[in-house]
Each structure stands twice: as structure tokens, then as C-alpha cells.
């Protein structure tokens, strides 16, 4: 496509503007993590020219980083009130395990819904979707009592179950649409080749749906990574995820913005790594429906 | 190799009946083409044969055994799909080897058979490629290789050439037929393309709206179409139809049509006064200065070896394919005649051959 120089420049500028709009909050938040409290709310705001400190990270992770931006006080051994490293680990465990749970169940269910004809199949799909129509807060309190009965309160298993199950409807519907895009002749062909349903699923269909699985997994992971309400209600002291502990930086003696930013900035990293890992499949997954083979 | 027999086969989807009372028999080694427009039930019949659709009524026999309730993988058949249905995540070799792997055939035996099939189909250089790296014709051959390697007793083809361009289609047509001549596996081939049917089949089964219209060799369905529908469907330049009434003139039955009086065979089972439809194939129309069919040339299409004349006759458009020795000009009058034995006569009511 031929474009005049002006238009091209304009497009480049517009592109960078959009990137800037999305990137600026991340940049600012990250720099806040490296600031002393006095440098955070300056007016006019400073963007680059501040005295950097690793103190926020040291408090949040309960370690001395060993590289100092000037003199540092010793960090309380074993962590003080702001020691949050284990919470990051909680988040990683919960997000990955609930994603695995949702993907395994959703993939199997979606394949059945896409390929097998049984009575009430369409109703089943509608029912699956309808479970997402309820506001989560409506079930938070009942869930609390149910979990209490089953001793699931404040356990990994409990939160993993809730996050996994909450992701199921969306994951099932997404995966179903990916399976629907795979021509059923491929299954039939394998069936005539003598393969069992399970072999077809494992050796033929699953490899073809990799992109869809990656896309679904990213959505599930991010959901669990950022979920607040159920972690707040269903955990007490032994586990908490990043979004919930972030709120504990708001204390009676003020808000620890620097520490909150440090945890937030650190929390970007695992999610970022997960997305990078599956990114190769992701783009293909999101466009798979449009590519006829 | 096996015979396939359809015995009063019917098919319903829910309350909708789409096929009833289909009966015919396919002998060993035969190449049978199911021919018909889309929606006539030919693909459904093929899928029932494969076991991908249930049989609602009647008995389906393969090799003399009733297979209505036999699982597809136990029917000893192989099918080539319209969109090839290759496994995109596997290389060509693994695509062809898949059925043997599933059947737990020894690895060196698999290798031997895959390589033999690849040799026959000229796929040897492509065995380590993925399907997406192949052209349409090559994919088509992989699909055939996948079917061949199992050495099934029946081959099923579901419009395998419809995704190819015209030239490749003609080429693959001869390849498939040559392959059949070599392997002699009983073959059922579904198509809506009458040229494929005419050129490949030992026997053509013409279907219409879930019923069999005619079964016969390519020559039989072309020379003596059982109905107006078959006459219309078979033949690449569409046959000319003209309505008329039977008269007896000069001791021989003839039909008075808007296009003039057309002589028909004395043996034709017609009664004077009967309303009929005459059909004359474009290739059977002969230019004759005193012929009964008076037309005005609308379009002269030179097709190389011969000329297709599109003309206006009283009964509507009249198509003729004639040799190019005579010059034709648009707008001039051309008169045609047809030999009585070349005129197909159908009952106006039932549209069946008389």
C-alpha cells in the first residue's frame, strides 16, 4: 500500500502515543517502587530525576539486595510487616495450579461438547455460560460457609478450586470454539484409521488446539493472578495472593506506596514470563478461526 | 476386496426422511460413482457406508456381512475426504503411517508400506514435510496414500477432486483410475461432476432427492437416460428439451413440437396424442438445409476442434455442437435435424423415458 510520507509519520506518531499511554503507568509505578517516600508525591511530579533506593524491594522481599543506592538500614531478619515474598509464591502456586485445573477439565469438556452428540448438549452449553452471569459477590458468603464445612478455608486447595471453577465456563466455551474450528472430518478420518476417541483427542486434536489452549491458559492465569474477592473471603493468615496483600499496605499510619509499588512491579514479572512462554502460540490461537486450511 | 450391497436403505434425520428404499449391489473390483447434485443424498450414503452416519432402515452389507452396527474401524474401509482431512501437526510420513501405528504394526513393516505407497503416488520427496507445505494435488495424494496403505477392502471417495483446479482435476482423475486398475480395490466415488463420473466409473448410480434415478454403465446412462433428469444431468453441454405431442406421420411416429416435427424411433412406446418431451443432445444435432428445427444463430463459440452454436428456436434456446468446416455467422438461419435413434422421448407427466 502506498502512503505519503506525512501519513506514515502520522501513523508512527499515533502508534507511539498509544504505546506511551499504555506503558506510562507501568513505567511510573515501577519508578515509584524505587523511590523514597518523599519523592513519590512531588509537585510538579518528577519522572527521572530522583534518588533511587532498593529499600522498598528489600522490605517486601525481606532480603538485603547487596547493591546500595547510598547507605541503607539493615532489614529486619525474617521480614517485617511488609515482608511479602511468600505471598508472591502463593500467587504463583494458585494461579498456575488453578489454570492447570481449568485447562484440563475445560479441554476435555469442550471436546465432548464440540464432537459428541448427546441429549441436552445445547442446554448444557447455555447452562455453563449462565453460571458466569451471577455476580461473584453473591456467592462469596455462601462459599465461605461451604469452605468452612469442608475445612478448605485458608488452604491452597480451596483457592485453587475456586479460581479453577470460576474460570471453567469461559475456558470451556473458548476451547469449544477452538475445537469447533477443527474440521470434524479430521476426527472421522482418524476414526476410520482405527483410532479410539482418546487417541484421536490426544494425538490429533490436542496438538491442533495448542494455540487455543495457550490463549485460554493466559486468560485463566491472569484472572487468577488478579482475583481479589474470593481470596479475601476464603483466606485468613496462612495464604494470601498479591492483590489482597497489596491492600494491606494501607495502614492506620498511612499508605506505604513505595512498598506497594515494589510488590506490584514484582508481580508483573511472573505474569509476564507466562505470557512470553505461550506468546508464540497465542497470536495463532487468537486468529485460528480465520485461517482455513 | 469385497462386494457392497445396499438393501432397501433409508435415512432419516429426526422426523425428516432424506432417503428411502435405496437398493443396489457393487461387485468386487468395481469402480462405482454416486452421481447427483448437492443434497441428493450421495454423501450421506457414502458416510453410512463408512459408518459415520447410522443407517435408519434396511441392511448394509460389506463382503456379504451385515455391517449396520459395526464400528467404522472394523469395516475394513478407507475414505478420502473432500477437504483431505490430513493431520496438520504430523508430517506426511506420519499421516500415512498413522493407521498402521494405531493398529500396532511393526515399525519396519510400517516403513516398508509407507514407502511403497509414497513410491506409487510420487510422494517420496515429500515424506518429511508437513501438509501445509504441500500443494493441493500433493495433499490429495497424501490422503490417497493414507487410504491405500491400509490395504482396505473398500475405498470411499467423497468428492476428492472438487478443491483442485480444472487441469489438476483432469490429471488426478486419470491417476485415481489408473491406481484402481492396479489395486483393483472395490471403490465407491461420490461426485457431482458428471465428467468425473463418465470418465472413471464402471457403473454410475445417478441419485436425486434421496432416490436412485438410474444405475448403469457410463454409456448406458448417456445413451439411454432413464429420465429427463438423468438426460439433463449427464452430458457436458446441456441437452435441448422441447415439449410436443405424438403424431403418426408417414408410418413412423413423430413428435410435433414448437420446433417442428421431429421423427422418433418406430419402436418408441408412444401413442398418438400423448404429451411428451423430446431431448436432443447438442452433439446429436446435425446441420441440415431441410431439417425441421429452424433456428437463428445467436452466438458462435469456437472451441477449437468444433463450434458450439447457441441459437434461438421457437421452443427456446437450442444448443448445437457441430464441426467447424462450415462458416457460421451470428444472425443467420440455421436448420437442424436429428437421427430418430438419437432423439430421447420422455413422458411429459412422469418425465420417464418412453
Q: Locate B242 and state its grid cell.
A: 422441447
Which pLDDT does position A4 carry in this prediction? 84
Handedness of CA B341, B346, B347, B348 (dihedral sign): negative
For the beta sheet containing B16-26, the strands, ordered from the edge strand earlier in sequence to the opposite edge, are B16-26, B4-13, B57-62, B65-66
**Closest chain B residue by Cα to residue A194:** B73
Which pLDDT does position A279 carry in this prediction? 74
CB contact under 8 A, A192 and B146: no
For chain A, which residues make up each domain, given as ranges?
Answer: 85-290
CB contact under 8 A, A192 and B85: no
CA distance A24 to chain B (A): 41
**Gyration radius of chain B over CA positions:** 24
- Partnered with residue B311 across adjacent β-strands are B297, B318
CA distance A183 to chain B (A): 8
Task: Show the DSSP H helices in A62-120 as ranges.
Answer: 85-115
CB contact under 8 A, A193 and B77: no
Which pLDDT does position B97 carry in this prediction? 94
Q: For cell 483410532, what's the residue?
A: A195
Q: How far apart are CA B6 and CA B21, in angstroms?
A: 9
Which pLDDT does position A65 carry in this prediction? 62
CB contact under 8 A, A183 and B85: yes
Query: Which of B145, B195, B224 shows the shortest CA–CA distance to B35?
Result: B195
CA distance B203 to chain A (A): 25
**Gyration radius of chain A over CA positions:** 24
Count of positions (residues) in chain B: 354
pLDDT above 60 for B298: yes
- Phi and psi, residue B177, nearest 5°: -65, -40
Helix axes A85-115, A257-287, angle to 10 degrees: 20
Q: Locate A111 and state its grid cell.
A: 471436546
Q: In chain A, what residues touch B50 (CB-CB under 8 Å)?
A: 188, 192
Confidence of residue A284 (pLDDT cuts 50, 70, 90): low
CB contact under 8 A, A192 and B87: no
- Phi and psi, residue B326, nearest 5°: -95, 140
pLDDT above 80 for A64: no
Query: Which of A97, A107, A96 shows the shortest CA–CA distance to A271?
Result: A96
Write the residue in B77, B83, B150 that is nearest to A185 by C-beta: B83
Query: Which of A50, A54, A34 shows the shortest CA–CA distance to A42?
Result: A50
**Closest chain B residue by Cα to residue A189:** B85
Query: Which of A291, A288, A114, A267 shows the shortest CA–CA distance to A214?
Result: A288
Which pLDDT does position A142 carry in this prediction? 92
Q: Which helix (H) or strand (E) holds B351?
A: none
Q: Locate B337 and state its grid cell.
A: 435435424
Substitution target in A184, A193, A288, A291 with the highest count of B β-carbons within 10 Å is: A193
Q: In chain B, what residues touch A292 (CB-CB under 8 Å)?
A: none
Handedness of CA A159, A160, A163, A169 (dihedral sign): negative
CA distance B159 to chain A (A): 13
Q: Pairing state of beta strands B211-216 and B260-263?
A: unpaired
Which pLDDT does position A276 carry in this prediction? 84
Which pLDDT does position A41 carry in this prediction? 82
Pair B262, B284: CB distance under 8 Å: no
Query: Which of A179, A180, A186, A274 shows the shortest CA–CA distance to A226?
Result: A274
| Domains observed in chain B | 4-233 (3.40.50.300), 240-347 (2.40.50.140)
Q: What is the DSSP code string of A167-187?
A: HHHHHHHHHHHHHHHS-HHHH
Pair B113, B101: CB distance under 8 Å: no
CB contact under 8 A, A190 and B98: yes
Q: For cell 480465520, what's the residue?
A: A290
Q: How far apart are CA A206 and CA A183, in angstroms?
A: 13
Q: What is the mean pLDDT of residues A169-187?
A: 90
pLDDT digits (tens, 9 = 90+) for A254-270: 888 888 898 888 888 88
Pair B242, B260: CB distance under 8 Å: no
Which pLDDT does position B163 carry in this prediction? 83
Percent of chain A past pLDDT 70, that is, above it, reads: 89
Substitution target in A181, A191, A194 with the highest count of B β-carbons within 10 Å is: A194
CA distance A271 to chain B (A): 29
Confidence of residue A71 (pLDDT cuts 50, 70, 90): very low
Q: In chain B, what residues touch A189 (CB-CB under 8 Å)?
A: 79, 81, 85, 87, 146
Percent of chain B past pLDDT 70, that is, above it, reads: 99
Write the residue in B78, B89, B132 that is nearest to A192 by C-beta: B78
Q: Locate A168 and state its grid cell.
A: 471453567
CA distance A196 to chain B (A): 9
Q: How far apart are CA B312 and CA B294, in angstroms?
A: 9
Q: In chain B, what residues touch A204 (CB-CB under 8 Å)?
A: 87, 89
- Mean model confidence pLDDT for chain A: 84
pLDDT above 70 for A76: no
Q: In chain A, what residues touch B73 (CB-CB under 8 Å)?
A: 191-195
Q: In chain A, what residues touch B72 (CB-CB under 8 Å)?
A: 188, 191-192
pLDDT above 80 for A289: no
Which pLDDT does position B240 carry in this prediction? 92
Which pLDDT does position A78 carry in this prediction? 47
CB contact burial B28-56 (16+ within 10 A = b; e otherwise): ebbbbbbbbeeebbbbbbbbbbbbbeebb
Cα B267 → chain centroid = 29
Confidence of residue A277 (pLDDT cuts 50, 70, 90): confident
Task: Enumerate residues 6+ apart whose C-beta is below 8 A from B240.
Answer: B279, B280, B281, B282, B285, B313, B317, B318, B319, B320
Which pLDDT does position A282 carry in this prediction? 66
Write the residue in A185, A194, A208 that is nearest to B73 by C-beta: A194
pLDDT digits (tens, 9 = 90+) for B13-71: 888 899 988 999 999 999 999 999 988 999 999 999 999 999 999 999 999 899 999 99
Q: How far apart are CA B175 and CA B189, in angstroms?
A: 14
Q: Which CATH architecture has domain A85-290?
A: Orthogonal Bundle (1.10)
Pair B30, B202: CB distance under 8 Å: yes
- Partnered with residue B207 across adjacent β-strands are B212
Task: Enumerate residues 6+ apart whose C-beta is below 8 A from B74.
Answer: none
Q: Locate B248 and state its grid cell.
A: 403418426
Q: Is B332 helix (H, G, I), strand (E, B) or coil?
A: coil
Query: Which of A230, A260, A33 shows the shortest CA–CA distance to A146?
Result: A230
Query: Which of B293, B254, B250 shows the shortest CA–CA distance to B271?
Result: B254
pLDDT above 50 for A291: no
Q: For cell 505470557, what's the residue?
A: A275
CA distance B162 to chain A (A): 15
CB contact under 8 A, A193 and B73: yes
CA distance A289 to chain B (A): 15
Which pLDDT does position A69 carry in this prediction? 46
Cα A232 → chain centroid = 17
Q: What is the mean pLDDT of residues B168-189?
A: 90
Q: How far apart are CA B9 and CA B22, in angstroms?
A: 5
- Mean model confidence pLDDT for chain B: 90
Q: How far apart are CA A33 and CA A227, in angstroms?
A: 22
Q: In chain B, what residues touch A194 (CB-CB under 8 Å)?
A: 73, 99, 102-103
The question of ipTM being above 0.85 is answered as no
pLDDT digits (tens, 9 = 90+) for B310-333: 998 888 889 999 888 888 888 888
Q: What is the mean pLDDT of residues B172-181?
A: 90
Least confident range from A134-138, A274-278, B185-189: namely: A274-278
Amino acid at each position: 500500500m502506498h502512503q505519503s510520507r506525512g501519513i506514515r509519520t502520522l501513523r508512527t506518531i499515533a502508534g507511539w502515543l498509544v504505546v506511551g499511554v499504555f506503558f506510562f503507568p507501568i513505567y511510573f509505578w515501577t519508578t515509584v517502587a524505587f523511590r523514597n517516600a518523599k519523592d513519590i508525591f512531588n509537585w510538579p511530579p518528577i519522572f527521572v530525576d530522583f534518588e533511587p533506593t532498593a529499600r522498598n524491594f528489600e522490605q517486601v522481599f525481606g532480603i538485603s539486595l547487596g547493591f546500595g543506592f547510598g547507605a541503607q538500614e539493615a532489614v529486619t531478619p525474617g521480614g517485617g510487616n511488609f515482608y511479602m515474598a511468600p505471598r508472591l509464591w502463593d500467587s504463583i502456586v494458585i494461579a498456575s495450579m488453578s489454570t492447570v485445573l481449568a485447562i484440563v477439565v475445560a479441554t476435555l469438556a469442550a471436546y465432548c461438547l464440540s464432537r459428541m452428540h448427546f441429549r441436552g448438549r445445547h442446554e448444557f452449553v447455555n447452562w455453563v455460560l449462565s453460571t458466569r452471569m451471577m455476580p461473584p459477590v453473591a456467592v462469596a458468603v455462601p462459599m465461605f460457609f461451604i469452605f468452612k464445612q469442608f475445612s478448605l478455608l485458608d488452604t491452597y486447595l480451596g483457592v485453587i478450586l475456586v479460581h479453577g471453577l470460576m474460570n471453567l465456563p469461559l475456558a470451556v466455551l473458548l476451547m469449544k470454539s477452538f475445537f469447533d474450528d477443527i474440521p470434524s472430518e479430521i476426527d472421522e478420518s482418524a476414526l476410520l484409521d482405527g483410532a479410539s476417541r482418546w487417541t484421536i483427542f490426544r494425538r490429533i486434536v490436542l496438538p491442533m488446539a495448542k494455540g487455543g489452549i495457550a490463549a485460554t491458559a493466559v486468560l485463566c492465569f491472569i484472572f487468577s493472578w488478579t482475583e481479589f474477592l474470593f481470596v479475601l473471603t476464603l483466606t485468613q493468615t496462612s495464604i494470601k495472593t498479591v492483590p489482597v496483600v497489596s491492600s494491606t499496605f494501607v495502614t492506620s499510619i498511612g499508605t506505604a506506596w513505595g512498598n506497594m509499588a515494589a510488590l506490584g512491579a514484582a508481580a508483573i514479572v511472573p505474569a509476564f514470563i507466562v505470557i512470553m512462554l505461550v506468546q508464540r502460540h497465542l497470536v495463532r490461537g487468537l486468529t485460528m478461526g480465520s485461517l482455513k486450511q | 476386496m469385497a462386494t457392497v450391497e445396499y438393501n432397501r436403505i433409508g435415512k432419516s434425520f429426526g422426523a425428516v426422511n432424506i432417503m428411502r428404499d435405496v437398493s443396489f449391489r457393487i461387485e468386487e473390483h468395481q469402480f462405482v460413482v454416486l452421481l447427483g447434485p448437492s443434497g441428493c443424498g450421495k454423501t450421506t450414503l457414502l458416510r453410512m457406508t463408512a459408518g459415520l452416519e447410522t443407517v435408519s432402515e434396511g441392511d448394509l452389507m460389506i463382503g456379504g456381512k451385515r455391517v449396520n452396527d459395526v464400528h467404522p474401524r472394523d469395516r475394513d474401509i478407507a475414505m478420502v475426504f473432500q477437504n483431505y482431512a490430513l493431520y496438520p501437526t504430523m508430517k506426511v510420513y506420519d499421516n500415512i503411517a498413522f493407521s498402521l501405528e494405531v493398529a500396532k504394526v511393526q515399525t519396519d513393516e510400517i516403513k516398508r508400506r509407507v514407502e511403497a505407497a509414497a513410491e506409487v503416488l510420487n510422494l517420496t520427496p515429500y515424506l518429511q514435510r508437513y501438509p501445509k507445505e504441500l500443494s493441493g494435488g500433493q495433499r490429495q495424494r497424501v490422503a490417497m496414500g493414507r487410504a491405500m496403505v491400509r490395504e482396505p477392502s473398500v475405498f470411499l471417495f467423497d468428492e476428492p477432486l472438487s478443491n483442485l483446479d480444472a487441469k489438476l482435476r483432469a490429471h488426478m482423475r486419470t491417476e485415481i483410475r489408473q491406481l484402481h486398475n492396479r489395486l483393483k480395490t472395490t471403490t465407491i466415488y461420490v461426485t457431482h461432476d458428471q465428467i468425473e463420473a463418465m470418465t472413471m466409473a464402471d457403473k454410475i448410480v445417478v441419485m436425486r432427492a434421496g432416490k436412485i434415478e438410474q444405475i448403469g454403465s457410463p454409456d448406458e446412462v448417456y445413451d439411454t437416460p432413464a429420465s429427463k433428469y438423468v438426460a439433463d444431468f449427464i452430458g457436458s453441454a446441456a441437452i435441448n428439451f422441447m415439449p410436443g405431442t405424438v403424431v403418426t406421420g408417414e408410418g413412423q411416429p413423430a413428435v410435433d413440437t414448437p420446433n417442428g416435427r421431429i421423427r422418433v424411433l418406430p419402436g418408441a412406446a408412444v401413442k398418438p396424442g400423448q404429451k411428451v418431451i423430446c431431448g436432443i443432445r447438442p452433439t446429436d444435432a446435425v446441420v441440415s438445409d431441410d431439417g425441421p428445427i429452424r433456428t437463428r444463430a445467436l452466438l458462435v463459440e469456437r472451441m477449437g476442434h468444433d463450434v458450439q452454436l447457441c441459437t434461438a428456436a421457437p421452443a427456446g434456446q437450442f444448443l448445437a455442437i457441430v464441426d467447424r468446416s462450415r462458416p457460421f455467422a451470428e444472425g443467420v438461419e440455421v436448420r437442424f435435424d436429428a437421427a430418430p435413434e438419437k432423439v430421447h422421448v420422455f413422458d411429459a407427466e412422469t418425465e420417464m423415458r418412453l
